[in-house]
Amino acid sequence: MLQYEEKYNHMHFQRIRQWRKRGRTAVIQEAWNSFYDKEILARVAEESDMSEEFVKNHEENAVYSHIINVPIGHRFPGVDTEEIMTPEKLFMIQAHVIHELAAENESCIFVGRCADVVLKDHENCYSFFIHSPLEERIKRIVETEHVTERQAKKMIKQTDWERSSYHNYYTKQKWGDPGNYDLMINSARTGIQKAVEIIMDYVK
């Protein structure tokens, strides 16, 4: 089981998306049975009887109007879907889906969505956090998204804020804290291919 997070630099997932474009996810996908990023949204939508667009718009952009302690890994049967769907309920359903997918696959990869905490007690689960300096992230987004440096910086700051707020709120643990991951990799130093190799060697 492989789970990892990364600061928004469009080299990793939003992150892994760029690996796909460059054809380098093949290295991982040959070794692992399943890769789950946006695929999780489709599964959540299916199981909750909501549109995928609704789930996409609310999963990491929720307005936290009221705080409750959501037990990580809480099972979906405990969620009352007859009432108004709240961000907390949506998270609980998503956590349930992640557990389901982990149980269905001998080996798989999860991208973000607090899977590092949701699966923290899962046997043979490894968590990685991929990061790089702000300057490198800006440069990459300018190249891949064809935006100005100012726009790229704004995109990065907004996405970092959304991801950290989401993770910190639901897990009560700090996003990017080294203590929450098996390994942290500076992709600006290693490059994409080397980062893949490091991860693959680590989980052998």
CB 100 within 8 A of CB 51: no
**pLDDT score for 109:** 85
Which DSSP string do the residues of 104-151 spell out, in sequence order?
H-SSEEEESTTHHHHTTTSTT-EEEEEE--HHHHHHHHHHHH---HHH
Residues 6+ apart with CB under 8 A from 137: 7, 8, 9, 10, 11, 152, 156
Residue in the structure block whose two tokens are 């007690």: 121
The closest alpha carbon to 192, from 71, 8, 23, 4, belongs to 23
For 156, the token pair is 């990065």
pTM: 0.70
pLDDT tens digits in sequence order for the chain, 204 residues long: 565 555 543 333 333 333 344 444 554 554 455 788 878 888 888 877 778 777 777 665 554 444 334 343 444 455 554 456 677 888 888 899 999 888 887 788 888 888 888 888 887 888 999 999 999 999 999 999 999 999 999 999 998 998 888 889 888 889 988 988 999 999 999 998 899 889 888 887
Residue in the structure block whose two tokens are 């307005």: 63
Cβ-in-10-Å burial (0-12, 13-18, 19+) of 49 comes to exposed
The closest alpha carbon to 161, from 179, 140, 144, 176, belongs to 176
CB 203 within 8 A of CB 126: yes
Domain boundaries, the chain: 2-202
What's the Cα-to-Cα distance from 195 to each of 90, 103, 202, rounded to whole Å?
32, 27, 11
Residue 151 has a CB neighbour count (10 Å cut-off) of 14
**pLDDT score for 141:** 94
DSSP-derived pairing of the beta strands 34-36 and 126-131: unpaired
**pLDDT score for 27:** 45
CATH class of the 2-202 domain in this structure? alpha beta
